[in-house]
């Protein structure tokens, strides 16, 4: 049985990656299991300078999901290169750096800096809903997506993944814009903007008023968007949004994903990503799949 | 730190709105006073675990107290003998084992939870415990705490024990007791008051903070608080911090 997939010139031993912001830089979860057993690991979103993130309440729960508004708290790209990247690279897995910025020039500089390192791929976060200048300005309209992708492409000497926001009018248009701008792969979906209300105080529950919704409740939206993006572009797609099981992985692959990212599941189950990766062959056996690659995009419609 | 599948061996109402839960599992690790656990909660649509301070722990059991705060903790009350839960522990730094002769421990309401083990960890010292509750019917763990030091139970309304806040009980004995360190866990106003008392007298004071949590292991950065001007993770860098670094 084959679980290995090819993504931007790298071979992932299985299609399971971790989603940025849910896995730190891997250290916390490496205390539970060898994170080298995953196909890939994606680090916390990085900015040029360290960021403290948002004040106030940063997490709320909703049926089958959570809302967060961390606001890109991170130690900055230089700290990452010196202190976190060597650890990540010591693991037998594909290492992805996730980056965010407030201006095109921020994105260019951080990507240029990371291109000088041994990081395997760069994921461009143009869709963080929790900071005013977290790239969301670029992520909404296809023209913005194309502009920032093209600018970054010019500076990027690593495979470039563009992470798309679901908070848009037409995901297919944004996917095409990223491809046109030079993306080597797309990842979707980032979180869906939402709110939680504290009835007692009559105030928004989250410090940032709005937050990003994730978890099993967003999976149907994510599947739909992965499918629409898959039909619109020819670059590979990394699917994410509420993945909790190996069956979920197979569903995303059928819709068009070459690989997937496990996010919120890590937060409530420290073994989630490994459990899903290890269960993949069982699920494949159950559905008579000998090679996961045969599933990619193979959804039978109509 | 590990994730265990544990069996519920008791889940009982302690007093008004308060429950005590005891879990059993093979090979329970050593737990420091002030450390906590992340518990899975029964309804499948509540995906986050609940952080609970560890009240007691030995090589096969651990116990907790909790109050009904929302749907997750409400569901916890429905656990019965033999049910299993996932429990990740021990998490967080816990209270330090410090070099001193006299230690004051101040708890308020459910904040008393992690203080019993913290007091026991410092059994080589003279320990005085000041636990405060709103009223007599809400007093918890009096028998347990009386084993860990000289206990003063306080009630806000004077229906039992010392009439007043635990900070007032502490202050009334400060000159005579002269504690060299204070451990505190409770509602924010209590912790701020203890911070003021400790710092004005030059007493090393540790506070155990509470925050809404996600992962419990330091990865998701949702439970941060300002520590010496920077956002630190309550779950991993804390929950116990020096008073001089928090509530500025």
Stated pTM of the model: 0.93
Looking at the partner chain, which of B3, B48, B230 has a beta carbon nearest the beta carbon of A32?
B3
Q: Is A52 on the interface with B (CB under 8 A)?
A: yes
End-to-end CA distance of chain B: 31
Shortest distance, CA B243 to any CA of chain A (angstroms)? 19
B213 contact residues in A (CB cutoff 8 A) = 59
β-strands B61-67, B56-57 pairing: antiparallel
E strand map for A153-256 = 160-163, 185-188, 192-195, 197-198, 203-204, 210-214, 237-240
In a domain, A302, yes or no: no
ipTM above 0.85, yes or no: yes
Helix (H) or strand (E) holding B140: none
E strand map for B109-197 = 126-133, 150-155, 162-163, 181-185
Question: Average model confidence (pLDDT) for chain A?
Answer: 95
B221 contact residues in A (CB cutoff 8 A) = 21, 24, 44, 53, 58, 70, 73
- Give yes or no for residue B3 having a pLDDT over 70: yes
**Domain total in chain A:** 1
Predicted confidence band of residue B31 (pLDDT cuts 50, 70, 90): very high
A102-112: average pLDDT: 93
Domain that holds residue A263: 5-53+70-193+212-295
A70-96: average pLDDT: 97
Cβ-Cβ pairs closer than 8 A, A with B, add up to: 87
At which residue do the structure tokens 């995303």 appear? A252
A53-80: average pLDDT: 96
What are phi and psi for residue B109, nearest 5 degrees? 55, -135
Predicted confidence band of residue B1 (pLDDT cuts 50, 70, 90): confident
B56-65: average pLDDT: 95
- Give yes or no for residue B72 having a pLDDT over 90: no
Q: What is the pLDDT of residue B73?
A: 87
Question: Average model confidence (pLDDT) for chain B?
Answer: 95
- Give yes or no for residue A19 having a pLDDT over 60: yes
- Give yes or no for residue A165 having a pLDDT over 80: yes
Q: What is the pLDDT of residue A128?
A: 62
Spatial distance between the Cα atoms of A160 and A175, rounded to a whole number of angstroms: 14
In a domain, A200, yes or no: no
When scoring B3, B51, B219 by the number of chain A Cβ atoms within 10 A, the one with the most, hence best to mutate, is B219
pLDDT above 70 covers what percent of chain A? 97
**In sequence order, which residues have a C-beta less than 8 Å from that of residue A239 and are 6 or more positions away?**
A187, A188, A222, A223, A226, A252, A253, A255, A256, A257, A259, A260, A261
Looking at the partner chain, which of A215, A216, A267 has a beta carbon nearest the beta carbon of B220?
A267
Give contacts of A 204-233 with B, CB under 8 A: 215-216
Q: DSSP letter at B111?
A: G
In a domain, A269, yes or no: yes
- Give yes or no for residue A121 having a pLDDT over 70: yes
- Give yes or no for residue A135 having a pLDDT over 60: no
A219-235: average pLDDT: 98
Report how far Cα A145 is from the mean position of its chain's Cα atoms. 16
**Contact present, A16 and A38 (Cβ < 8 Å):** yes
pLDDT above 70 covers what percent of chain B? 100
Q: Which CATH architecture has domain B102-208?
A: 3-Layer(aba) Sandwich (3.40)
In a domain, A93, yes or no: yes
- Give yes or no for residue A139 having a pLDDT over 90: no
**Contact present, B104 and B177 (Cβ < 8 Å):** yes
B200-221: average pLDDT: 96
**Contact present, A30 and A91 (Cβ < 8 Å):** yes
CB within 8 Å: B72 and A70? no
Query: For chain B, which residues make up each domain, given as ranges?
Result: 2-91, 102-208
pLDDT single digits (tens) A3-14: 999 999 999 999
Q: What is the pLDDT of residue B45?
A: 87
Q: What is the pLDDT of residue A131?
A: 60
The one catalytic residue in A8, A128, A217, A255 is: A128
Q: What is the pLDDT of residue B123?
A: 93
**Contact present, A146 and A177 (Cβ < 8 Å):** yes
When scoring B1, B29, B50, B215 by the number of chain A Cβ atoms within 10 A, the one with the most, hence best to mutate, is B215
Shortest distance, CA A233 to any CA of chain B (angstroms)? 32
Look at chain B and count its residues.
248
CB within 8 Å: B220 and A29? no
Predicted confidence band of residue B6 (pLDDT cuts 50, 70, 90): very high
**CATH code at A24?**
3.20.20.70
**A250: nearest Cα among A207, A216, A279:** A279
- Give yes or no for residue B16 having a pLDDT over 90: no
**Contact present, A244 and B197 (Cβ < 8 Å):** no
E strand map for B34-76 = 36-39, 50-53, 56-57, 61-67
In a domain, A112, yes or no: yes
Looking at the partner chain, which of A24, A53, A65 has a beta carbon nearest the beta carbon of B231?
A53
What are phi and psi for residue B65, nearest 5 degrees? -120, 150
Q: What is the pLDDT of residue A302?
A: 80
**A178: nearest Cα among A204, A150, A151:** A150
Q: How many other C-beta atoms lie within 10 A of the C-beta of residue B61? A: 16
Q: Is A245 on the interface with B (CB under 8 A)?
A: no
From B41, which residue of chain A is nearest by alpha-carbon distance?
Answer: A268
Shortest distance, CA B162 to any CA of chain A (angstroms)? 32
B47 contact residues in A (CB cutoff 8 A) = 61, 64-66, 215-216, 264, 268
pLDDT above 90 covers what percent of chain A? 94
pLDDT higher at B208 or A103: B208
Q: What is the pLDDT of residue A134?
A: 52
Residue A270: both structure tokens together: 């420290």
Q: What is the pLDDT of residue B206?
A: 98
B218 contact residues in A (CB cutoff 8 A) = 24, 28
Give contacts of A 156-195 with B, CB under 8 A: none
CB within 8 Å: B47 and A57? no
In a domain, A65, yes or no: no
Q: What is the pLDDT of residue A132?
A: 56
pLDDT single digits (tens) A183-194: 999 999 999 999
Q: What is the pLDDT of residue B69?
A: 85
Predicted confidence band of residue B43 (pLDDT cuts 50, 70, 90): confident
Predicted confidence band of residue B207 (pLDDT cuts 50, 70, 90): very high
E strand map for A29-159 = 40-42, 59-62, 65-68, 94-99, 121-125
CATH number of this structure's domain B2-91: 2.40.30.10
From A271, which residue of chain B is nearest by alpha-carbon distance?
Answer: B3
- Give yes or no for residue A136 having a pLDDT over 70: no
Shortest distance, CA A165 to any CA of chain B (angstroms)? 20
pLDDT single digits (tens) B151-203: 999 999 999 999 999 999 999 999 999 999 999 999 999 999 999 999 999 99
Q: Would you call A156 a catalytic residue per the annotation? A: no
**Contact present, B120 and B96 (Cβ < 8 Å):** no
Q: Is A125 on the interface with B (CB under 8 A)?
A: no
CB within 8 Å: B220 and A21? yes
């Amino acid at each position: 049985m084959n679980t290995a997939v090819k993504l931007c010139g790298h071979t992932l031993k299985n299609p399971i990656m971790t989603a940025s912001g849910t896995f730190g830089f891997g250290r916390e979860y490496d205390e539970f299991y060898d994170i080298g057993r995953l196909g890939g690991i994606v680090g916390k979103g990085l900015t040029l300078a360290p960021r403290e993130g948002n004040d106030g309440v940063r997490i709320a729960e909703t049926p089958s999901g959570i809302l967060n508004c961390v606001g890109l708290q991170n130690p900055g790209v230089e700290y990452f290169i010196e202190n976190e990247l060597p650890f990540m690279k010591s693991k037998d897995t594909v290492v992805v750096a996730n980056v965010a910025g407030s201006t095109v020039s921020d994105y260019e500089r951080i990507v240029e800096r990371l291109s000088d390192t041994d990081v395997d791929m760069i994921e461009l976060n143009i869709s963080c809903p929790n900071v005013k200048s977290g790239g969301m300005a670029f992520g909404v309209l296809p023209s913005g997506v194309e502009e920032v992708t093209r600018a970054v492409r010019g500076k990027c000497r690593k495979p470039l993944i563009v992470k798309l926001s679901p908070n848009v009018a037409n995901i297919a248009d944004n996917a095409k814009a990223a491809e046109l701008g030079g993306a080597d792969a797309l990842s979707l979906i980032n979180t869906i903007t939402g709110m939680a209300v504290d009835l007692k105080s009559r105030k928004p529950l989250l410090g940032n008023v709005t937050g990003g919704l994730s978890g099993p409740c967003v999976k149907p939206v994510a599947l739909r968007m992965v499918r629409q993006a898959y039909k619109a572009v020819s670059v590979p797609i990394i699917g994410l949004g509420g993945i909790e099981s190996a069956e979920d992985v197979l569903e995303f692959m059928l819709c068009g994903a070459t690989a997937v990212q496990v996010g919120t599941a890590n937060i409530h189950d420290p073994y989630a990503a490994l459990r899903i990766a290890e269960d993949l062959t069982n699920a494949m056996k159950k559905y008579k799949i000998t090679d996961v690659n045969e599933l990619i995009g193979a959804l039978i419609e109509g | 730190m590990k994730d265990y599948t544990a069996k519920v061996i008791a889940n009982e109402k302690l007093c008004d709105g308060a429950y005590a839960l005891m879990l059993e599992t093979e090979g329970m690790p050593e737990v420091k006073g002030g450390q906590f656990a992340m518990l899975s909660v029964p309804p499948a649509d509540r995906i986050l675990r609940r952080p609970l301070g560890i009240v007691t722990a030995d090589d096969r059991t651990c116990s907790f107290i909790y109050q009904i705060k929302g749907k997750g903790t409400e569901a916890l009350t429905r656990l019965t003998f033999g049910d299993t839960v996932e429990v990740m522990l021990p998490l967080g730094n816990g209270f330090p084992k410090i070099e001193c002769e006299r230690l004051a421990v101040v708890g308020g309401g459910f904040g008393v939870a992690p203080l019993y083990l913290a007091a026991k960890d410092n059994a080589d010292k003279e320990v005085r415990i000041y636990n405060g509750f709103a009223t007599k019917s809400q007093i918890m763990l009096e028998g347990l705490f009386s084993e860990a030091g000289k206990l003063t139970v306080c009630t806000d309304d004077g229906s039992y024990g010392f009439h007043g806040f635990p900070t007032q009980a502490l202050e009334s004995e400060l000159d005579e007791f002269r504690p060299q360190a204070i451990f505190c866990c409770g509602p924010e106003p209590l912790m701020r008051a203890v911070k003021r008392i400790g710092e004005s007298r030059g007493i090393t004071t540790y506070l155990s903070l509470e925050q809404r949590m996600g992962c419990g292991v330091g990865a998701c950065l949702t439970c941060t608080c300002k520590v010496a001007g920077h956002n630190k993770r309550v779950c991993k860098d804390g929950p116990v911090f020096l008073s001089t670094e928090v509530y500025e």
